[in-house]
Amino acid sequence: IIQKARRAIRHFHIANPQGRVYPLSASEFDYGPFFAAVSAIKYRGGISVEGSSKAFDSDGPKAVEFLRNAAAGKLAPTTAESP
């Protein structure tokens, strides 16, 4: 889908699909295919977190760090399963 829509994409929203919460690490879900597709279209725009958190002060910085690393191709190997 990302490849087909690449010319129309202006930004992305992301959340951990298991609970629609902040994405915090590669171990919670297999985000690899998403970031590989984003990289393949050479996307350089913004990615917004659209999820909830019960601990914004601690989860916010963790989510930002995780997303920056993932967008830079620094996703740690994961054992998480995609639904």
Region 31-38: what's the mean pLDDT? 94
pLDDT level of residue 75 (50, 70, 90 thresholds): confident
Task: Please name the residues in contact with 15: beta carbons below 8 A apart, sequence gap of 6 or more.
Answer: 21, 22, 23, 49, 50, 51
Global pTM reads: 0.82
Residue type, 56: F
- Element housing 74 (H / E): none
Is the pLDDT confidence value at 78 over 90?
Answer: no
